[in-house]
Structure 1
């Protein structure tokens, strides 16, 4: 459940596990952001798939459009707002339940807090690994000549040019000061 997502996302790995050929994908319209922290993602394509919630005695089936992405994820798919709208579903994140109308009453889908915790830990570890890998690549590409002042140690708190010293409390003589940009207006 991802109430913040404006897309339904399916990972190519999941599509392959379902035995669906990539030739069924339609071209996607545009890239999107937010699935991989700080990265833009271009989908491999779109696909319409039937999705069913419920039990044999009370179920709903709708066809959803998924953006298929070629990178690894920690889930099989992400069901976003388009899914909730189509199913008229209401997520409750406190109780980890998704409720939607069915032909024979309300359909309730839920999970355990333990499963959610395990998924969140895996997702955070994966996002951190991607971020660390990206940050390391950037750091390796930079050289010390690229620093504004390579003679100044990285842990120095010396003010740079364009900074002025302002007393924290003008009526006090304790000497507490803060440095601010000299370009700021007096307000």
Structure 2
């Protein structure tokens, strides 16, 4: 649930997992911002789906309109303000509860703080991966557009000693994301590494008096 979103968003991977054919999508509206870091997102279509809150003793079902996007995310769907309004739901972010009127009383939906923290952590790591991937594309483009040497080749360009195999970007990103646990994301992930291997330092003259700015 995202009270800051003006749309209900579903990832295409979730649509496929539900067994819904993409031919059922209808054309969507204008692009939107705020889901992909620093970029606008263009939906691949819209679809109306029933959503149910509650349990067998007290539940409500309403039909919501979802914007289906083709990129991957850490959630299955994002339920925004249109969902809140349709169900007349009221969130309490302090206690991680969502309440709404039901046919047999108030329906309460909640989660644990541990689960919420894990979701937030995965979302931050995913955003970091996306931004790093975009920066890598920019650096690669800048390198490929470098000046030519005397032999007509790009100066500093890498030449493989043996034949190489081109891999689709999406497959590489999926592979890196599936194996993200083997990468070091913070200093505590690298215990026992000597400081001389990698250490930041301020290049200032010895004896200089520090100045607070």
TM-score (norm 1): 0.75
Q: How far off its partner does 1:70 sit?
A: 0.6
Structure having the higher strand fraction is 1
Corresponding residue number in structure 1 for 2:94: 94
Structure having the higher helix fraction is 2
**Aligned pair 1:20/2:20, yes or no?**
yes
Corresponding residue number in structure 2 for 1:6: 6
Matches within 5 A, 1:51-90: 51-90=51-90
Corresponding residue number in structure 1 for 2:46: 46
- Say which SS state the counterpart of residue 128 (structure 1) adopts: helix
How far apart, CA to CA, are the structure 2 residues paired with 1:18 and 1:115?
A: 23
Q: How far off its partner does 1:81 sit?
A: 0.2
Partner deviation per Cα, 1:113-135 (whole Å, 9 max, x = no partner): 11111111111001001001112
Corresponding residue number in structure 1 for 2:155: none
Unaligned runs of 5+ in 1: 146-154, 156-175, 179-187
User: RMSD in angstroms over aligned alpha carbons?
Assistant: 2.0
How far apart, CA to CA, are the structure 1 residues paired with 2:136 and 2:80?
A: 32
How far apart, CA to CA, are the structure 2 residues paired with 1:102 and 1:11?
A: 28
TM-score (norm 2): 0.66
How far apart, CA to CA, are the structure 1 residues paired with 2:137 and 2:18?
A: 35
How far apart, CA to CA, are the structure 2 residues paired with 1:139 and 1:69?
A: 27
Corresponding residue number in structure 1 for 2:178: none
Please identify the structure whose Cα radius of gyration is greater.
1
Corresponding residue number in structure 2 for 1:125: 125
How far apart, CA to CA, are the structure 2 residues paired with 1:119 and 1:3?
A: 16
Q: How far off its partner does 1:137 sit?
A: 2.1
Corresponding residue number in structure 1 for 2:116: 116
How far apart, CA to CA, are the structure 1 residues paired with 2:29 and 2:130?
A: 26
Q: How far off its partner does 1:29 sit?
A: 1.0
How far apart, CA to CA, are the structure 1 residues paired with 2:80 and 2:90?
A: 12
Corresponding residue number in structure 1 for 2:134: 134
How far apart, CA to CA, are the structure 2 residues paired with 1:103 and 1:120?
A: 33
How far apart, CA to CA, are the structure 2 residues paired with 1:46 and 1:127?
A: 24
